[in-house]
Structures are given as structure tokens and as C-alpha cells.
């Protein structure tokens, strides 16, 4: 999905100019990267704030029309006011849509209640909630899902076990990370200890 934005070039930079942009209910921003000069721009505040309700904006391709020139970019950062929580600045990075990009997306676990391990009394440890991915922006998913249906006590889902879309690979050092584990003891193991203790007590010689 490509998000199209219209922007105006900010001819004057600096904090004072940025304040003037915000006073007009717009948002100062910058586009950088791809070995080109950064460009200071001004976004329509209402238009951009409406986008904030969309999930995973940082995995989306933005087509920014700046004075008749179109820039393919990805949203890298949003700065918020510490008190009002309003957007005060946004950073976009130019990309080549034909080359892989590096993106971090959330990880979601599903079917917890129907998981084999949870039904047996296991406890879910959801340790890593984001994953770094590499691939073309058009192929990039909004999130990665871990299905716990067939996961039982003692099982661990590593990065190498994640189901990725075609053309998408894991980022560096992701494969060996333990994303989710169901801990605990299998029912037969839990019952075995008291039984073994009782058997040991029964076989122990009586004290005289």
C-alpha cells in the first residue's frame, strides 16, 4: 500500500520557522537519504494526523509530492510535544523501491487459549515482541504472527521458526532469538514427583 502525501518546500529552516509552520496547524518535516541533499518540507497537519490512526506506518511506502517532484520514502521518526503530545516534526528517508529495506515490525501471538501447552497448565513467556526484517517495501508485512495452537509445554519459538512472507528474510542475529516459550511441567511429570517421594518413603527402613 502506497500512501500519497502533498508537501510544500520550507524555504526557511530553523526553530523559528518550524514554530511558524506549527502555528499554521501544519507539521515541519525533512526528507533525506539516497546520497541527495536533505529537503525541509511542510506537511498538512490535518492530513498527516489522520494517518496516525493507521497501523504500522513505518512499514509503508510514502509517495511525497514536493513541488511537482515525487519522492519515494519511508517514515523513520515522529517527534511529539512532551506536554500536548502533538506531532512537532517528522523524518522521512528516501528509498529505492527496487532495493531491500530494513524494517522492524511487531510480533503477535494468536490462539493462546487453544494452545496445547496452555491447556496443560503451561505459562507463556512472550519475550521478543519485535523482529527486524529485510525485503522490498511492497512485500513488507505489517506484523509477524506466531500461532500457538500446536505449541506445548517446553516448546520454544525461535526466529528461525517464524513464518515470513515470500521475499522477506530475517535481520541480523534474529534467527537464534527465543521469541516465545511455554514453560511449566507436563502433567505426568508433575504427578511423578509426589509418587516417587511416596514410594521412597514407603521403602525407607523404619527407625527403631
Is position 43 within any domain? yes
Is position 207 within any domain? no
CA dist 31 and 38 (Å) reads 6
Q: Are 86 and 140 part of one and the same domain?
A: no
Burial 15-34 (b: 16+ CB within 10 A, else e): eeebeebbeeebbbbbbebe
> What is the domain-level CATH number for residue 141?
2.170.120.20
Please identify, among 64, 94, 124, the residue that sits at the C-terminal boundary of a domain: 94
Q: Are 82 and 108 part of one and the same domain?
A: no
CA dist 63 and 65 (Å) reads 6
Q: Are 62 and 87 part of one and the same domain?
A: yes
CA dist 120 and 152 (Å) reads 8
Is position 208 within any domain? no
Residue 55, pLDDT score? 86
Per residue in 110-140, pLDDT (tens digit) is 999 999 999 999 999 999 999 999 999 999 9
C-alpha cell at 178: 527465543
Per residue in 68-107, pLDDT (tens digit) is 899 999 999 999 999 999 999 999 999 999 999 999 999 9
Is position 129 within any domain? yes
Q: Are 142 and 187 part of one and the same domain?
A: yes
53: pLDDT strictly greater than 60 = yes
Residue 118, pLDDT score? 95
C-alpha cell at 154: 517446553
pTM of the model: 0.80
Residue 190, pLDDT score? 55
Q: Are 111 and 162 part of one and the same domain?
A: yes
191: pLDDT strictly greater than 90 = no
| Domains: count for the chain | 2
Is position 206 within any domain? no
Q: Are 82 and 124 part of one and the same domain?
A: no
Q: Are 113 and 152 part of one and the same domain?
A: yes
| Domain with 42 in it | 2-94
Is position 200 within any domain? no
Mean pLDDT of 150-157: 96
11: pLDDT strictly greater than 60 = yes
- DSSP assignment letter at 131: E
Q: Are 28 and 86 part of one and the same domain?
A: yes
Q: Are 125 and 72 part of one and the same domain?
A: no
Residue 199, pLDDT score? 52
Greatest C-alpha distance within the chain? 100
pLDDT averaged over every residue in the chain? 90
Q: Are 149 and 109 part of one and the same domain?
A: yes
Residue 198, pLDDT score? 52
Is position 8 within any domain? yes
Q: Are 75 and 39 part of one and the same domain?
A: yes
Amino acid at each position: 500500500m502506497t500512501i500519497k502525501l502533498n508537501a510544500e518546500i520550507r524555504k526557511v529552516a530553523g526553530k523559528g520557522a518550524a514554530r511558524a509552520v506549527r502555528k499554521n496547524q501544519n507539521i515541519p518535516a525533512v526528507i533525506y537519504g539516497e546520497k541527495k541533499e536533505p529537503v525541509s518540507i511542510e506537511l498538512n497537519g490535518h492530513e498527516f494526523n489522520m494517518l496516525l490512526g493507521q497501523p504500522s506506518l513505518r512499514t509503508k511506502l510514502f509517495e511525497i509530492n514536493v513541488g511537482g517532484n515525487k519522492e519515494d520514502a519511508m517514515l523513520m521518526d515522529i517527534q511529539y510535544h512532551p506536554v500536548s503530545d502533538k506531532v512537532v516534526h517528522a523524518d522521512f528517508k528516501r528509498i529505492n523501491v527496487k532495493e531491500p529495506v530494513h524494517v522492524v515490525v511487531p510480533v503477535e501471538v494468536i490462539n493462546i487459549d487453544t494452545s496445547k501447552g496452555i491447556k496443560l497448565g503451561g505459562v507463556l513467556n512472550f519475550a521478543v515482541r519485535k523482529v527486524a526484517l529485510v525485503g522490498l517495501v511492497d512485500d513488507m508485512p505489517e506484523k509477524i504472527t506466531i500461532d500457538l495452537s500446536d505449541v506445548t509445554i517446553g516448546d520454544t519459538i525461535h526466529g528461525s521458526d517464524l513464518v515470513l512472507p515470500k521475499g522477506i528474510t530475517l535481520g541480523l542475529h534474529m534467527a537464534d532469538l527465543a521469541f516465545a516459550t511455554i514453560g511449566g511441567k507436563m502433567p505426568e511429570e508433575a504427578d511423578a514427583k509426589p509418587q516417587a517421594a511416596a514410594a521412597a518413603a514407603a521403602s525407607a527402613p523404619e527407625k527403631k
